[in-house]
Chains A and B, each alone.
Chain A
Amino acid sequence: MSNLNAAVSAPPAPAEAPPIAPVLPGRPRVRVDARLLPLAVTLALFVLMFGAGSLLFDGFFSLQVFLNLFVDNAFLAITAIGMTFVILSGGIDLSVGSVIALTTMLSATLLERHGVSPAAVIALALLLGASLGFVQGLVIQTFQIQPFIVTLAGMFLARGLCYLISIDSIAITNPFYTKVSALRFPLPFDTSVSMNVVIALVVLAVAVYLAHYTRFGRTVYAIGGSEQSALLMGLPVARTKVLIYTLSGFCSALAGIAFTFYMLSGYGLHAMGMEMDAIAAAVVGGTLLTGGSGYVIGTLFGVLIFGTIQTLIMFQGSLSSWWTKIVIGLLTLVFCLFQKVFERSSARKVYSTRPASAARAA
């Protein structure tokens, strides 16, 4: 098995496969990889929306408003990055929102009611998140059950465990947590970012490395492209699938810790519906829901678009917060339709070129 793996992954010079596929030799024109198109659309949309906001509202076009997109959505970015790996592999994880809630609840109760040290609390929370993800991945892989039903059960379980700890919100007064929550890293032009932003950026860097420069990342893409083919290639499909859900659980727990820093409380109703926001961010970021195509960096822009919509509605003032939900829903729809068109046109290309080349050969 390991021999086979080595043989498969050896030819493309290890660890140096660029994230952007090189231009194929022998083509007369410079062609941009078609897979980059959704990412370009996402990027353009973000620039457009931020630009529109800057034109419409005074004080919108500032570095701090831009940085606040990160500050206010760092936890969403962290969990959406974990979700991206799941979606890239063709799966889905509905449990992330409730794992975040469980993390806040566990942290709050351990810190405030049992006097556990912050370091131990953080380690325990990460361990819990990763093991929840691991168990879900194991069930999905061992029994070949659709991921959405298993993670749905995981969602129930984590929310239920929250309520088992306490039905009420628990405020956190731990000095370490309040200090981290208030901590600001100063940046030029009198701006600053919070600790959560640093965590999110580190997660992003690690995720980009994992997705594009490791064997694990390539296997994730391969499984999403075609699980059958990945199996036949001798890739460690079972192990990787379990790892993907473990990673997503770990990211959710980390997002939960960031959320605890942000809210300074533990509550069973925290992060209600955030699984949908994370999925929407990944989809708007250009990740194909059928798996196999997409970029981690796209998800970051998905989150930024999400944040821009919220900021626009906030600046507008008279629109109510539920418009965010409607706009996010519509945006997800538009991107899904875009993906469908994209899929169809690329499928048509395959069908139309084959007979032509066959005819030429004959």
Chain B
Amino acid sequence: MKAPVLGIETAATPLRRLMRNRIFWPLATLGLLLLFNLATNPHFFAVTVRDGHLYGSLVDILNRASPLMIIAMGLTLVIATHGIDISVGAVVAISAAVAATLIGGELVLSGAHVPRFPMPVVMLGALAVATLFGMWNGVLVSLVGMQPIVATLILLVAGRGVAQLITSGQIITIYYSPYFFIGNGFVLGIPFSLFIVAAVLAVLAFLARRTALGLFIEAIGLNPVAARFTGIRARSITFWVYAVCGLCAGIAGLIVSSNVKSADGNNAGLLLELDAILAVVLGGTSLSGGRFTLVGSVVGALIIQALTTTIYSVGVPPEVTLVVKALVVFVVSILQSDRVRNRIAALGQIGEAAP
């Protein structure tokens, strides 16, 4: 509602208009992080071609961030409905466990490894199971009416148990080489996982921005009662949003297990839910629901990976990462709180009124 008024006021200053863009701040943070790396390592931006593949720190960051980017996109939709899904890490572990079990972990010393089931069945099976667990969350939240944090907490506790049940408590090593392509392959010199990210982004962005679905999701997040009175089928949309989040976690599980060539029910995707929430929040989607940005969450995931890479390359012990992330969550959530926002808005109004 305010947008047209502000547009007239600030049309003259393109910089201010740029700063009002929701993607601006996440992108600026990412840019600063990368520039900081460039300062410490002059070859940081160098991208070389080796064996027809692109190599370099930037490609590495993009490649490593791909599971997080996919999960963050799914979680963005959930958070936009004023929900939360803290079970994504467990679903990653379940998806990886299902895929590894369907392939089978026997080492064949001579000849090619033959999987128990063909690749498409393996992938579809893992994704179907992950989606089912997403639907389970969806049922608890939309039909039963449980608080999202509690509903997904149950899966977070039980999910790791389920993953260990599937792998019988073992770490299953994958020997089937075609499966490695998902997490380690290259197409046209670019990591294959980035194509998956692009595909997920394209599909979700199309659904959210080219159909009315995105608007419905935002309406549910802002005021579920009002959304229902305007005729939005809030329950079924909420249900499907959780299912999609489960599917995204499943895709990430395939990439993770393919990348490390194994499935560990206990440690796959551990604490990933926290990274994902952080990525969404850093990307500019508010935890209180409503307006969301998928691209912002992708940038948020890149910020987290860039931060991790920076901490490694600067030579600070990697254990500091957790502390830094914690402080970032504190600062960002304080900046996003209504109280601070109102104060900043008040300061801005005084500044504008003064001249």
Contacts of B295 in A (CB 8 A): none
B305-334 CB contact bits vs A (8 Å, 1 = yes)? 000000000000101111111110110011
Is A145 a contact partner of B334 (Cβ separation < 8 A)?
A: yes
Contact of A164 among B319, B336, B339 (CB under 8 A): B319
Contacts of B323 in A (CB 8 A): 156-157, 160-161, 164
Task: Name the residue on A nearest B166 (C-beta).
Answer: A322
B147-173 CB contact bits vs A (8 Å, 1 = yes)? 101110111111111101100110000
What separation, in Å, do the CA atoms of A139 and B336 have in the docked complex?
Answer: 13
What separation, in Å, do the CA atoms of A336 and B161 have in the docked complex?
Answer: 19
Is B277 a contact partner of A326 (Cβ separation < 8 A)?
A: no
Contact of A276 among B144, B153, B287, B329 (CB under 8 A): B153
With contacts A143-B340, A153-B326, A159-B322 taken as known, whether A329 is within 8 angstroms of B154 at the C-beta atoms is: yes
Is A332 a contact partner of B154 (Cβ separation < 8 A)?
A: yes
Contacts of A273 in B (CB 8 A): 157, 160
Contact of B154 among A144, A157, A159, A333 (CB under 8 A): A333
**Chain B min CB distance to A140 (Å):** 10
Is A326 a contact partner of B162 (Cβ separation < 8 A)?
A: yes
Cβ-based interface call for B48 (8 A): no
Cβ-based interface call for A340 (8 A): yes
Give chain A interface residues in 260-289, CB to chain B under 8 Å.
273, 276-277, 279-280, 283, 289
**Chain A min CB distance to B231 (Å):** 25
Is B329 a contact partner of A160 (Cβ separation < 8 A)?
A: no
Cβ-based interface call for B51 (8 A): no
With contacts A149-B277, A289-B147, A336-B146 taken as known, whether A329 is within 8 angstroms of B338 at the C-beta atoms is: no
Looking at chain A's contact residues, the main secondary structure is: helix
Contact of B337 among A145, A148, A153 (CB under 8 A): A145
With contacts A276-B157, A325-B160 taken as known, whether A139 is within 8 angstroms of B334 at the C-beta atoms is: yes
Cβ-based interface call for B145 (8 A): yes
Contacts of A99 in B (CB 8 A): none
Cβ-based interface call for B84 (8 A): yes
Task: Name the residue on B nearest A328 (C-beta).
Answer: B157
**Chain A min CB distance to B322 (Å):** 3
Cβ-based interface call for B59 (8 A): no
Cβ-based interface call for A142 (8 A): yes
B325-355 CB contact bits vs A (8 Å, 1 = yes)? 1110110011011111000000000000000
A306-342 CB contact bits vs B (8 Å, 1 = yes)? 0000000000000011111110111011001100100
**Chain A min CB distance to B271 (Å):** 8
Which of under 10, 10 to 19, 20 to 34, or 35 or more describes the interface residues of A? 35 or more
Give chain A interface residues in 86-103, CB to chain B under 8 Å.
92
Is B274 a contact partner of A152 (Cβ separation < 8 A)?
A: yes
B264-307 CB contact bits vs A (8 Å, 1 = yes)? 01000000001001000100000110000000000000000000
What separation, in Å, do the CA atoms of A146 and B82 have in the docked complex?
Answer: 12
What separation, in Å, do the CA atoms of A337 and B144 have in the docked complex?
Answer: 8
With contacts A148-B84, A150-B333, A323-B161 taken as known, whether A276 is within 8 angstroms of B326 at the C-beta atoms is: no
With contacts A150-B333, A332-B157 taken as known, whether A92 is within 8 angstroms of B274 at the C-beta atoms is: no
Task: Name the residue on B nearest A146 (C-beta).
Answer: B287
Cβ-based interface call for A163 (8 A): yes
Contact of A167 among B146, B319, B330, B336 (CB under 8 A): B319
Is A143 a contact partner of B339 (Cβ separation < 8 A)?
A: yes
**Chain B min CB distance to A286 (Å):** 15
Is B158 a contact partner of A329 (Cβ separation < 8 A)?
A: yes
Contact of A156 among B147, B150, B325, B333 (CB under 8 A): B325
Task: Name the residue on B nearest A165 (C-beta).
Answer: B319
Cβ-based interface call for A53 (8 A): no
Is A289 a contact partner of B326 (Cβ separation < 8 A)?
A: no
Contact of B330 among A153, A160, A323, A330 (CB under 8 A): A153
Give chain B interface residues in 115-160, CB to chain A under 8 Å.
140, 144-147, 149-151, 153-160
Cβ-based interface call for A154 (8 A): yes
What separation, in Å, do the CA atoms of A85 and B283 have in the docked complex?
Answer: 34
Contact of A160 among B169, B321, B337 (CB under 8 A): B321
Is B149 a contact partner of A92 (Cβ separation < 8 A)?
A: yes
Contacts of A276 in B (CB 8 A): 153, 156-157
Is A320 a contact partner of B164 (Cβ separation < 8 A)?
A: yes
Give chain B interface residues in 245-261, CB to chain A under 8 Å.
none
Is A326 a contact partner of B158 (Cβ separation < 8 A)?
A: yes
With contacts A152-B329, A332-B157 taken as known, whether A326 is within 8 angstroms of B165 at the C-beta atoms is: yes
Cβ-based interface call for A290 (8 A): yes
With contacts A143-B337, A325-B160 taken as known, whether A148 is within 8 angstroms of B149 at the C-beta atoms is: yes
Contacts of A161 in B (CB 8 A): 323
Contacts of A321 in B (CB 8 A): 169
What separation, in Å, do the CA atoms of A42 and B60 have in the docked complex?
Answer: 52
What separation, in Å, do the CA atoms of A134 and B20 have in the docked complex?
Answer: 35
With contacts A145-B337, A161-B323 taken as known, whether A329 is within 8 angstroms of B84 at the C-beta atoms is: no
- What are 19 A-B contacts defined by CB distance under 8 Å? A144-B337, A145-B337, A148-B149, A149-B277, A149-B287, A150-B333, A153-B333, A155-B326, A157-B322, A160-B324, A164-B320, A279-B153, A322-B165, A323-B161, A324-B161, A325-B160, A325-B164, A326-B165, A330-B158
A-B contacts besides A160-B321, A329-B157, A337-B144, 19 pairs, CB < 8 Å: A139-B334, A143-B333, A143-B337, A144-B338, A150-B333, A152-B329, A154-B326, A156-B274, A156-B323, A157-B327, A160-B322, A164-B320, A276-B156, A277-B157, A290-B147, A322-B160, A326-B158, A326-B165, A340-B144
Top 4 A-B pairs, shortest CB-CB distance: A329-B158, A160-B322, A325-B161, A163-B319
